[in-house]
Structure 1
Amino acid sequence: MPVLFSALLPPDDVVEAITAALAEALPEALGEPGDGRRWEPPERWHITLAYYGQDDLEKRGAWLAERLAGRAAVDVRLEKAATFPGVLWLTVAGTELTPLAHAAGADAEARPYTAHLTLARFPREEPGLGARWTERLSSFASRSWQATEVALMASEREPGGTRYRVARSFELDRA
């Protein structure tokens, strides 16, 4: 069974804006990882709504279709960086995503939902590294966009790493 999660995917021009901001503020993000630091490649950038773990794709897809039916599209904007222990991420501004995330199943998780886009992982023992990175990305803000679909993502192990693929998409109602 694949590992599944639901997510919003940023549009190509927003991905390009993030890449440009990283190239300017954190050129090491585009180089080789080192010392336990792992930069997420742009093709894996997403805003997680809910994580399901190993699950049946057909059953989860049917469940999610029912839960998302009639849900409105949401306005999204990414901005300044923040950290969890060992994780650098961009904050999500704009429409509150929590109701959509809860509809997608985030309310079943033990920790409160925090909408974010993960940029990198680093050793938890290096909190200063995260602080330096957040400072360098403090003025970042993407354009706003309307997220009109939710992706059911499958995480697949491959030689050389993990790949995410869209297993199914669910349209949200446009305003």
Structure 2
Amino acid sequence: MPVLFSALLPPDDVVGEITAALGDRQDGLRWEPPERWHVTLAYYGQDDVGTRAAWLGERLAGRGGVDVRLEKAATFPGVLWLTVAGPELTPLAHAAGAGAEPRPYRAHLTLARFPREEPGLAARWTSTLAGFTSRRWRATKVALMTSEREPGGPRYRVARVFELDRA
């Protein structure tokens, strides 16, 4: 069974904004390629795509789209990420199952990874991206994603897409 999670995928122009803000990235961090950028709503682990899709479809039925904007960088141990602004996102994430996870939900978009014992590697980027703000967009789709291990890092694929009400 594949590993599954649900996510919002940033629009192409927002991906372009992030890419432009990052510029040259030759600094020892392991950068996530733009095709893997996403905002996780909930992680499910190994699960059956059909079963999880039916469950998620019921949980998202009738839910409206949410306004999202990416902002300044921050870190978790070993992870550099962009914060996500949008108060409507947390209720959507909880509907998608984020509340079942042991840690509190923290909306973010992972940019890079670095050794936990070297937090200074990311310090330049938290400073460089302190004023970053993407345009706000209306997320009207939730993707059920699969994650497969590959030599160059995980490969994410969209298994199903759920439309949110556009109102």
Looking at structure 1, the residues matched to 75 and 152 of structure 2 have their Cα atoms a distance apart, in angstroms, of 26
Q: Percentage identity across aligned positions?
A: 81
Structure 1's unaligned 5+ residue stretches are none
Q: Report which stretch shifted further, 88-97 or 109-118.
A: 88-97
Structure 1 vs Structure 2 CA RMSD = 1.2
Correspondent of 1:89 among 70, 75, 81: 81
Deviating beyond 6 angstroms after TM superposition, the runs of 4 or more aligned structure 1 residues are: none
**Aligned positions of 1:1-175 closer than 5 A:** 1-23=1-23, 27-28=24-25, 31=26, 34=28, 37-175=29-167
How far off its partner does 1:159 sit? 4.4
Looking at structure 2, the residues matched to 131 and 97 of structure 1 have their Cα atoms a distance apart, in angstroms, of 27
Deviation per residue, 1:124-171 (Å, 9 max, x gap): 111222222100111111000000010000012234332101000000
TM-score normalised per structure 1: 0.92
Q: Report which stretch shifted further, 150-159 or 110-119.
A: 150-159
Looking at structure 1, the residues matched to 123 and 152 of structure 2 have their Cα atoms a distance apart, in angstroms, of 29
Looking at structure 2, the residues matched to 84 and 41 of structure 1 have their Cα atoms a distance apart, in angstroms, of 19
Looking at structure 2, the residues matched to 58 and 101 of structure 1 have their Cα atoms a distance apart, in angstroms, of 20
Looking at structure 1, the residues matched to 101 and 92 of structure 2 have their Cα atoms a distance apart, in angstroms, of 14
Looking at structure 2, the residues matched to 158 and 21 of structure 1 have their Cα atoms a distance apart, in angstroms, of 28
Structure 2's unaligned 5+ residue stretches are none
Aligned residues: 167
Deviation per residue, 1:67-114 (Å, 9 max, x gap): 000011000000110111110000011233111000000000000000
